[in-house]
């Protein structure tokens, strides 16, 4: 049974549109109510034979216009409230490499393993803005989260987890195994440990180094271990750079938490020619699906990306 907190609400921008619509309707109604009142109280001059009442005609046309406007508004509001929200079908467990992240965000890190970025349903965002994040509800998970799901920019803050819950957790919570804050964060940590991405890469000799890797080698090592291809995202070191920096790896699950293919859209598969729509973090263009034709650099701890990596 779904949590009672999961009442479907229109998105904030939709609420704004509804407020504007209501305001316009009220002004229109007030205007024509006043016009009708004037029409009732005003004594028009006598009409000559064959003349029509222009004042009454104006009022009639205005009231007709108002009725049409009200009807259209009613249809709009009904369609908004009756339109079903598209249900998600896939969960994306997203890892990021701290060294690459801090290269872009000018932070420092001592993490030598892949950390969690988030657990994201493939559709929907901010599904219940009234279901606020409460760190006290996951207090027993915080030590583990600081280790494996850290905020690399604000290590002592819970802002990052709040963002993940409000944007993604409230949508994931439509499924019973994640229908509370504690369940959502616990499930993400459970899947993270189950995958052991670091172990899989090391087993296939994909380790941080001053060498290039072929994207097919990185992708193939993960796909062969999990039985499902990942989505691998990179950072462009510089425009027209001869290599790309390994940044983020997404592993996908279905609603039963079985591994599935992380499909790539047509746009994501396009060559890095300005057409790719990158993942945005902190207002910076950071990650885009790696270009299969460009060598991949997996930077070790302390790398400044000032030196040119070598090809294996």
- Where is the domain boundary, 29, 47, 82? 82
283 phi-psi bin (left φ>0, alpha ψ -120 to 50, beta other): left
Q: What is the pLDDT of residue 198?
A: 97
Question: Could you list the active site residues?
Answer: 117, 164, 168
Shared domain check, 261 and 185 = yes
**Residue-level pLDDT at 27:** 57
The verdict on residue 306 lying in a domain is yes
Are 190 and 295 part of one and the same domain?
Answer: yes
Q: Do 219 and 182 belong to one domain?
A: yes
Domain boundary among 32, 51, 82: 82
DSSP state of 141: G
Interatomic CA distance for residues 134 and 181, integer angstroms: 8
Does residue 114 lie in a domain region? yes
State the pLDDT at residue 22: 55
Q: Which of 248, 312, 311 is nearest to 278 (CA)?
A: 248
First to last CA, the chain: 53
Report the predicted TM-score, pTM, of the whole model to 2 decimal places: 0.69
Q: Is 105 helix (H, G, I), strand (E, B) or coil?
A: helix
Residue at 41 is within a domain: yes
The tokens describing 31, both together, are: 């205007």
- 60 is in which domain, residue-wise? 12-82
φ, ψ of residue 55 in degrees (nearest 5)? -65, -45
Measured at the CA of 95, the angle between CA 144 and CA 239, to 5 degrees, comes to: 140
- Asked whether residue 1 is domain-assigned, the answer is no
73 and 218 inside one domain: no
How many structural domains does the chain have?
2
- Is residue 237, in this structure, part of any structural domain at all? yes
pLDDT (0 to 100) of residue 75: 42
Check whether residue 70 and residue 99 sit in a common domain. no
Contacts 24+ apart (CB under 8 A), 140-145: 141/182, 141/185, 141/186, 141/189, 144/189, 145/185, 145/189
Residues 36 and 137 in one domain: no
User: Do 211 and 278 belong to one domain?
Assistant: yes
- The pLDDT tens digits of the residues spanning 288-302 come to 999 999 999 999 987
CA distance 159 to 172: 19
Listed residues 82, 114, 130: the one ending a domain = 82
* Range list of β-strands (E), 97-137: 115-121
Q: What is the pLDDT of residue 18?
A: 45
CATH number at residue 254: 3.90.730.10
Same domain, 170 and 276: yes
Q: Is residue 5 part of a domain?
A: no
Q: Is residue 2 part of a domain?
A: no
Distance CA 201, CA 204 (A): 5
Note the pLDDT tens digit of each residue in 86-113: 789 999 999 999 999 998 888 889 999 9
What is the block-wise mean pLDDT of the chain (312 residues), using blocks of 10 residues? 46 48 54 49 52 48 46 43 68 96 88 97 94 98 98 94 98 97 99 98 96 96 97 81 92 97 59 38 66 94 65 50
Quick one: CA dihedral 151, 152, 154, 160, positive or negative? Answer: negative
Q: Tell me, what's the pLDDT at 2?
A: 43
pLDDT score at 15: 46
- 32 and 106 both lie in a single domain: no
Closest to 171 (Cα-Cα) out of 279, 88, 258:
88
Q: CA 258, CA 226: separation in Å to the nearest integer?
A: 10
Residue 184 inside a domain? The answer is: yes
Same domain, 16 and 72: yes
Interior/surface letters 94-124, b for 16+ CB within 10 angstroms, e for the rest = bbbbbbbbbbbeeeebebebbbbbbbbbeeb
The reply to whether 57 and 194 lie within a common domain is: no
270 and 151 housed in the same domain: yes
Q: What is the pLDDT of residue 203?
A: 96
């Amino acid at each position: 049974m779904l949590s009672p907190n999961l009442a479907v609400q229109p998105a904030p921008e939709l609420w704004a549109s509804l407020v504007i619509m209501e305001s316009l309707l009220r002004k229109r109604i007030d205007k024509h109510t006043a016009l009708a009142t004037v029409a009732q109280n005003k004594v028009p001059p006598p009409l000559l034979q064959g003349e029509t009442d222009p004042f009454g005609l104006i009022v009639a046309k205005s009231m007709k216009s108002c009725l049409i406007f009200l009807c259209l508004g009613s249809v709009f509001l009904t369609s908004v409230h009756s339109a079903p929200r598209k249900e998600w079908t896939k969960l994306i467990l997203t890892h990021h490499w701290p060294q690459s992240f801090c290269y872009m965000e000018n932070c420092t890190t001592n993490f030598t393993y892949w950390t969690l970025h988030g657990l994201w349903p493939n559709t929907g965002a901010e599904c219940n803005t009234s279901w606020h994040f409460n760190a006290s509800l996951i207090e027993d998970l915080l030590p583990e989260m600081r280790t494996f799901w850290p905020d690399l920019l604000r290590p002592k803050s819970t802002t990052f987890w709040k963002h993940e819950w409000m944007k993604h957790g409230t949508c994931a919570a439509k499924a019973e195994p994640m229908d509370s804050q504690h369940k959502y964060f616990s499930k993400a940590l459970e899947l993270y440990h189950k995958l052991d991405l670091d172990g899989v890469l090391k087993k296939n000799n994909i380790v941080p180094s001053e060498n290039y890797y072929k994207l097919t080698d990185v992708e193939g090592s993960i796909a062969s271990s999990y039985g499902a291809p990942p989505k691998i995202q990179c950072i462009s070191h510089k425009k027209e750079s001869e290599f790309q920096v390994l940044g983020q790896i997404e592993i996908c699950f279905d609603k039963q938490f079985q591994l599935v293919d992380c499909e790539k859209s047509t746009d994501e598969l396009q060559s890095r020619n300005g057409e790719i729509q990158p993942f945005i973090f902190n207002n910076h263009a950071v990650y885009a699906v790696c270009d299969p034709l460009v060598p991949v650099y997996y930077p070790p701890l302390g790398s400044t990306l000032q030196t040119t990596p070598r090809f294996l």
